[in-house]
Amino acid sequence: MFRSMLVRSSSSAKQAVIRRSFSSGSVPERKVAILGAAGGIGQPLALLMKLNPLVSSLSLYDIANTPGVAADVGHINTRSEVVGYMGDENLAKALEGADLVIIPAGVPRKPGMTRDDLFNINAGIVKNLCSAIAKYCPHALINMISNPVNSTVPIAAEIFKKAGMYDEKKLFGVTTLDVVRARTFYAGKANVPVAEVNVPVIGGHAGVTILPLFSQATPQANLSGDVLTALTKRTQDGGTEVVEAKAGKGSATLSMAYAGALFADACLKGLNGVPDVIECSYVQSTITELPFFASKVRLGKNGVEEVLDLGPLSDFEKEGLEALKPELKSSIEKGVMFANQ
């Protein structure tokens, strides 16, 4: 429903979608909190979540400028009430009663910045926010966007464990942007309508750890090995492509907000009991020897209802899977070590 709202141009169609969601009194009240709501991802994400008819209460939090974002977004004539919270002293109010917490907080990657540079800043921010979540809304679903996701999700898990509040079914690393990019790039090369394309993406959420499974793409197209190799590389380097194109003026904020909104919508549908909601996400997993791994998961009332197996891989994908494991393992260990310092 949400995806159709984003892509349909007809305002009457949009209004019909919204009316349908209201007319059945069966849509539950759902509070969504966005931590980092005044940032480059947070603002467009707040806008997109305001458009989602499944949200009844939208809580926007940041260390500065949130009241203005909330006032602006709050004027949009959709269902949810919007409140902006600013500063550490208001974090508890922002979180209390939340069903879903989305975390885009932290600094974006700039040209020349390594993922280690990102880690050194964002890891501390994530650690503090997750300590507050464990205290004020421990049963909420967590959607982690703050990079490097390969490490921030393990950090969050360790913080929740320390608080005695860890539920592996409720912690998600948002890797949807990798799927969005894979779909877009594949559709362009396969010359098929992008709206009909699906491509699972497994592994992690940085560089070589991102592995799109083009052998499982639908609809199937007969692309050469060279094309598939190039598509894989472009999907892995999508973030860098945007950082360089923006020439120091930002990172992938708009496409990330879109992908974050898609995944949050899937989580809300799962919470509301919609059957067969399947998305790729970076979660605690036993489908490889690594403790966290991105793959297809079935979403439901408890968060992760089922982690689906990887399915058949091409020889190229099998090689890619083995190649990504050492780097992903290192990123996970780095997060765990930081959380336990």
What is 108-151 written as a DSSP string? Answer: PP-TT--HHHHHHHHHHHHHHHHHHHHHH-TTSEEEE-SSPHHH
Q: 24 pLDDT band (50/70/90 cuts)?
A: very low
* Residue whose pair of structure tokens reads 């994530």 in the numeric block: 126
Residues 6+ apart with CB under 8 A from 13: 4
Whether residue 38 is annotated as binding a ligand: the answer is yes
Decide if 294 contacts 203 (C-beta within 8 A): yes
Please tell me whether residue 1 adopts helix, strand or coil conformation.
Answer: coil
Q: 7 pLDDT band (50/70/90 cuts)?
A: very low
Whether residue 88 is annotated as binding a ligand: the answer is no
- Please, is 67 exposed, middle or buried when counting C-beta atoms within 10 Å of its C-beta (0-12, 13-18, 19+)? middle
Q: Which of 160, 56, 53, 41 is nearest to 102 (CA)?
A: 41
Residue 12, pLDDT > 50, answer: no
Give the model's pLDDT for residue 324.
Answer: 98
Whether residue 260 is annotated as binding a ligand: the answer is no
Whether residue 303 is annotated as binding a ligand: the answer is no
Name the residue with higher pLDDT: 138 or 10.
138
Handedness of CA 278, 194, 215, 329 (dihedral sign): negative
Indicate whether this model's pTM tops 0.85: yes
Residue 121, pLDDT > 80, answer: yes
Q: 25 pLDDT band (50/70/90 cuts)?
A: low
Adjacent-strand bridge partners of 33:
59, 101
Give the model's pLDDT for residue 327.
Answer: 97
Q: Which of 251, 253, 234 is nearest to 242 (CA)?
A: 251
Whether residue 145 is annotated as binding a ligand: the answer is yes
Spatial distance between the Cα atoms of 36 and 38, rounded to a whole number of angstroms = 6
Decide if 159 contacts 125 (C-beta within 8 A): no
Whether residue 109 is annotated as binding a ligand: the answer is yes
Q: 118 pLDDT band (50/70/90 cuts)?
A: confident
Q: Report residue 284 CA to chain centroid gap.
A: 15
Helices (H) and strands (E) in the chain, counts: 12, 11
User: What are the pLDDT digits (tens) for 70-103?
Assistant: 999 999 999 999 999 999 999 999 999 999 999 9
Q: How far is CA 47 from CA 78, 177, 260, 263, in A?
A: 11, 18, 12, 15
Residue 304, pLDDT > 90, answer: yes
Residue 174, pLDDT > 60, answer: yes
Spatial distance between the Cα atoms of 255 and 257, rounded to a whole number of angstroms = 5
Choose the catalytic residue: 50, 127, 183, 205.
Answer: 205
> What's the mean per-residue pLDDT of the chain?
92
User: What are the pLDDT digits (tens) for 150-163?
Assistant: 999 999 999 999 99
Whether residue 122 is annotated as binding a ligand: the answer is yes
Residue 49, pLDDT > 50, answer: yes
Adjacent-strand bridge partners of 35:
61
Residue 6, pLDDT > 80, answer: no
Give the model's pLDDT for residue 112.
Answer: 76
Give the model's pLDDT for residue 92.
Answer: 98
Percent of the chain with pLDDT over 90: 86
Percent of the chain with pLDDT over 70: 92
Spatial distance between the Cα atoms of 172 and 340, rounded to a whole number of angstroms = 20
Name the residue with higher pLDDT: 26 or 222.
222
Give the model's pLDDT for residue 9.
Answer: 39
Q: 291 pLDDT band (50/70/90 cuts)?
A: very high
Q: 284 pLDDT band (50/70/90 cuts)?
A: very high
Residue 141, pLDDT > 90, answer: yes
User: What are the pLDDT digits (tens) for 196-246?
Assistant: 999 999 999 999 999 999 999 999 999 999 999 999 999 999 999 999 999
Give the model's pLDDT for residue 145.
Answer: 98
Q: How far is CA 248 from CA 41, 199, 245, 256, 318, in A?
A: 16, 30, 8, 17, 36
Tell me if residue 75 is catalytic: no
